[in-house]
């Protein structure tokens, strides 16, 4: 699948849990140009990039191109600094319906939860 976040992150590994959830391990590229502007001298991973990563991983796992329909309960709970915490774990609970895919995501580094959100995608 093609990604719009070229070289922004690497999918290191993933597994499908018994309950159908996916657990993905990614590493952020701390040298990516996005971090030079967001913010100079104090890099922070943009929330919109994290939302795009969830979309791209969901597309990868189900093998379908998706379009964001809605997002709710989007909670950024910790700053993701690509120099301090580049290695992230994303849990994706994917519920595939006829025309819609619902995903609940929890993104963390270590014991810290950085992002929680629920999104609906159109196929």
pLDDT of 1 strictly over 60:
no
**Regarding beta strands 100-109 and 22-28, do their DSSP bridges make them parallel or antiparallel, or are they unpaired?**
unpaired
Task: Output the CA torsion sign for 31, 113, 79, 93.
Answer: positive
Alpha-carbon span 106 to 103, nearest angstrom: 10
**Rounded CA Rg of the chain:** 14
Contact status, residue 59 vs residue 65, Cβ threshold 8 Å: yes
The pLDDT value recorded for residue 107 is 98
Mean pLDDT of 48-75: 96
Judge if the upstream peptide bond of residue 47 is cis by omega within 30 degrees of 0: no
pLDDT at 3 (0 to 100): 72
User: With 90 as the cut, is the pLDDT of residue 49 above it?
Assistant: yes
Element of type H or E holding 103: strand 100-109
pTM for the structure as a whole = 0.95
Mean pLDDT of 43-70: 96
Check residue 77 and report its DSSP letter.
Answer: -
Confidence of residue 19 (pLDDT cuts 50, 70, 90): confident
- Pairwise CA distance, residues 65 & 62, whole Å: 9
């Amino acid at each position: 699948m093609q990604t719009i976040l070229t070289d922004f992150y690497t999918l290191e590994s993933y597994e499908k849990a018994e309950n159908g959830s996916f657990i993905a391990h990614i590493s952020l590229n701390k040298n990516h140009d996005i971090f030079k502007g967001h913010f100079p001298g104090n890099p922070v991973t943009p929330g919109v990039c994290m939302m795009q990563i969830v979309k791209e991983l969901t597309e990868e796992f189900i093998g379908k191109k998706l379009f964001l329909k809605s997002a709710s309960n989007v909670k950024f709970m910790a700053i993701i600094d690509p120099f301090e915490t580049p290695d992230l774990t994303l849990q994706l609970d994917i519920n595939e319906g006829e025309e819609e895919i619902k995903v609940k995501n929890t993104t963390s580094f270590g014991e810290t939860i950085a992002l929680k959100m629920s999104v609906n995608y159109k196929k």
